[in-house]
Amino acid sequence: MPDQSLPEIRTPDPAVREPDTAGGPGISRRALLGTAGATGLVLGGAGGAVGYAAAPAPATPLTSVGSDRAMFHGKHQPGITEGLQARGHLVAFDLTAGAGRKEAAALLRRWSATAERLMAGEAAPHDDTDVARDAGPSTLTITFGFGHSFFGRTGLEKQRPGVLDPLPDFSSDQLDKARSDGDLWVQIGADDALVAFHALRAIQKDAGSAARVRWQMNGFNRTPGATAHPMTARNLMGQLDGTRNPKPAEADFDQRIFVPASGDPAWMANGSYAVVRRIRMLLDDWEKLSRTAQEAVVGRRKADGAPLSGGSETTPMDLEKTDAKGGYVVPVNAHARITRPDRNGGAAMLRRPFSYHDGIDTDGTPDAGLLFVCWQADPLRGFVPVQRKLDRGDALSQYIRHEASGLFAVPGGAAAGEYVGQPLLEG
């Protein structure tokens, strides 16, 4: 993600002196508020209280955070290769009773029209709520996908991709079925919370009588410009997360992440498959570990993400390096060792998650963790083999719990004048 410039800092106008309304002649409203803030003065009397609303911040030009725009139309859907956004919403819908292929096509047409307008920083096509009225596009992306059950509900079973079969069970799963799967899936991301929420409401309203929300999850990442320079994101465990993510500049990136134009089924050309997992982090247990113990679990230094074998974040990990006692410097069950593509038949996926925090459970533990979203051309060659390997002995497993899951077919991008999924629904 490119560097974001800091907004211009402006000197406020001098306080304007006003008549004797609260503090006597010669005392400005601004000065009075300043005095109250500095001394803890409470304004009030026997007849009632006197106070002033906080003045709005001086107007500043739209910053690069607000003006950045992702394109809706293209070879691929937005929200896959863009950088991590500050706010995100993941929401799944089920078609309502009686809604079929015709209603689904009309819904995707509405959703696509809404997404195109909102991603351009414009108002929703109808009944706009004005929540994002003052903001720019803020890198808003809206992405649509189809779950396994969608095809049966629309009579399109013959068009269901074979790799969309339900994921296998894993030993770390404690899945809530009510918060898993779904006929339709929507991913919303933006660098402004109000812009993201505005899009969520518009998409929910557009569903009308055709679909109802099955589940919704809300997440966040670091805001662009919050660090001195662009860097790999940190998760709620404090670890850099995404160091070995495939890069679009790599020669085999498209092959790993996107279905080829000649792929099967044809309607998935240039699309991808999203695995979505709600992963609870057992933060109370994790934070009891020393930093050294945490680094041994992950296999990387917490400060800079460098492998325990030495170097910087991007230095190749030396899996054979040993310490003075003959033990591996990177433990055999370290998360970073187990997830390496060269240890999983070349399996690779593009991880693009959001962190989440949904408050405190009744026992006082935080309900927080990762809304894990990964992209790949084939989940049977991407997510599944890696997760099976983790299932057999990942040191991180005792500090996390998989609580919800979904797999969705995300078709390629819509051409101008078309809507997402049109080749499937009208083919």
Whether 363 is a known active-site residue: answer: no
Q: Is 359 left (phi over 0), alpha (psi -120 to 50) or beta?
A: left
| 397 contacts 172 by C-beta, under 8 angstroms | yes
**CA Rg, the chain, in Å?**
25
Phi, psi of 245, rounded to the nearest 5 degrees: -60, 140
Q: Which of 357, 365, 283 is nearest to 88 (CA)?
A: 357
Q: Which amino acid, one-letter code, is at 97? A: A
Burial class (CB in 10 A: 0-12, 13-18, 19+), 411: buried
Full DSSP string of 273-342: EEEEEEEEE-HHHHTTS-HHHHHHHHTB-TTT--BTTSS-TTSPP-TT-B-TTS-BSS-TT-HHHHT-GG
Active-site residue, from 94, 183, 192, 241: 241
Which 3 state secondary structure label does DSSP give 39?
helix
Query: From CA 373, how far away is CA 316, in angstroms rounded?
Result: 25
Integer Cα distance of 207 and 203 in angstroms: 6
Q: Which residues are tagged catalytic? A: 241
